Amino acid sequence: CAEGCFCDRGFLQSGDRCVPLPQCGCSHEGRYYQAGQTFYSNPRCDERCACQASGELQCRPGGCAASEACAVRDGVRGCYPRECGRCQVLGAVSYSTFDGRSVYFAGTCAYALAAAEVADPGDSVVPFVVRMEKESGKEGPVIRRLLVTVHGVTVAMARGTQWEVLVDGERHLLPLSLGAGAVTVTQEGAHRVLQARGGPKLLYDGDAYALLTLPHTYRGLTRGLCGDFDGDAADDLAAPQELGAAWGTLASGCTHGSSPPDCSSVTRGRCGMLADATGPFAG
């Protein structure tokens, strides 16, 4: 004989309690789940299962939102908010918003890439504005410069330069620390990196690629080309004229662009070369 916990006749132990046999839980890959418990069945979180009172599993397709990641926290696998929001500028005309929506926008004016304001003095987020000035190049729109206003200073990163920035209009060499370390700017390889304490982090290669990262505390509080960071990619603006009207400043000599071109074999340039049936990429 041995001391322990035992259930009355007709009952079986399910977790920390005894239940009638018809209310027993389910087993999946060597793990026991109580009746009514739901779980993701694999490391991709693309299938969600529920343990029925009959002891049977019912599974259906799952999946995490663009603003979520499949991870294990406190021993439980699930879809959890990503720690940071990421917005990418790819080639000056393609964008990936904080919520993961891909956007084509070939405007050549000045735009609010992202911004956050503080409506309540008790808010913990740091207000900021990231602006992108664009212009027409030989092969299409190009970034002229990126400007970040945060912690009382404005830092400008111009295209085609390295190891230097403008701070409130004055040239400074890197590395640079401003506001007692509230804003730092460094050169990391081919990229200049601006980090604001408690706020945005901007990486720029000095040409056509930029990556803006925000802490999760900004969720649902941003505006601009990078979207509102609310977890719903569908509500991010995508039409060129809508984007231009909402976040751009139309001036002489610039436009808000048009819809993406149709990549056909008759299109000249790089696009046509890729689609040409007799070209170097055919077959």
Q: Using an 8 Å Cβ cutoff, are 131 and 112 in contact?
A: yes
Residues 193 and 75 occupy one common structural domain: no
Among residues of the chain, what percentage have pLDDT more than 90? 43
pTM: 0.66
Q: Is residue 222 part of a domain?
A: yes
Q: Is residue 5 part of a domain?
A: no
pLDDT tens, residue by residue, 181-210 = 999 999 999 999 999 999 999 999 999 999
Instruction: Write the CB contacts of 278 (distance below 8 Å, at least 6 apart in sequence).
Output: none
Provide the CA 191 distance to its chain's centre, in angstroms.
20
Please give the structure tokens belonging to residue 256: 């808000």
Mean pLDDT of 16-28: 74
Amino acid in the structure at residue 44: R
CA distances from 146 to 29, 131, 133, 154, 160 (A): 51, 6, 6, 10, 12
Residues 103 and 236 occupy one common structural domain: yes
Q: Is residue 35 part of a domain?
A: yes
Residues 136 and 30 occupy one common structural domain: no
CA atoms within 13 A on the CB side of 136: 6
Helix (H) or strand (E) holding 47: strand 47-51
Q: Is residue 1 part of a domain?
A: no
Residues 76 and 88 occupy one common structural domain: no
Residues 62 and 143 occupy one common structural domain: no
Closest CA to 109 of 83, 143, 86: 143
Integer Cα distance of 78 and 41 in angstroms: 10
Dmax of the chain from CA atoms? 92
Phi and psi for 99 in degrees, rounded to 5? -95, 5
Q: Is residue 150 part of a domain?
A: yes
Residues 76 and 215 occupy one common structural domain: no
Residues 102 and 72 occupy one common structural domain: no
Predicted local confidence at residue 156, as pLDDT: 98
Q: Using an 8 Å Cβ cutoff, are 130 and 112 in contact?
A: yes
The answer on pLDDT for 87 being more than 60 is yes
Mean pLDDT of 91-119: 90
Query: Which range in 79-93, 159-173, 223-237 is most confidently predicted, on average pLDDT?
Result: 159-173
Residues 30 and 164 occupy one common structural domain: no
Q: Is residue 214 part of a domain?
A: yes
Mean pLDDT of 230-254: 87
| Residue 34: domain span | 24-49+57-81
Residues 93 and 63 occupy one common structural domain: no
Q: Using an 8 Å Cβ cutoff, are 155 and 166 in contact?
A: yes
Residues 166 and 90 occupy one common structural domain: yes
Range list of β-strands (E), 174-274: 176-178, 183-188, 191-196, 201-204, 209-215, 222-223, 248-249
Integer Cα distance of 266 and 276 in angstroms: 8
Amino acid in the structure at residue 252: S
Please give the structure tokens belonging to residue 200: 């945005």
Integer Cα distance of 201 and 148 in angstroms: 10
Residues 232 and 160 occupy one common structural domain: yes
Tell me the average pLDDT of the chain. Answer: 85
Looking at the structure of the chain, the number of domains it has is 2
Integer Cα distance of 144 and 86 in angstroms: 22
Question: What is the DSSP code string of 124-193?
Answer: -SPPEEEEEEEEEETTEEEEEEEEEEETTEEEEEETT--SEEEETTEEEESSEEETTTTEEEEEETTEEE
Q: Is residue 188 part of a domain?
A: yes
Q: Is residue 156 part of a domain?
A: yes
Residues 110 and 244 occupy one common structural domain: yes
The answer on pLDDT for 276 being more than 70 is no
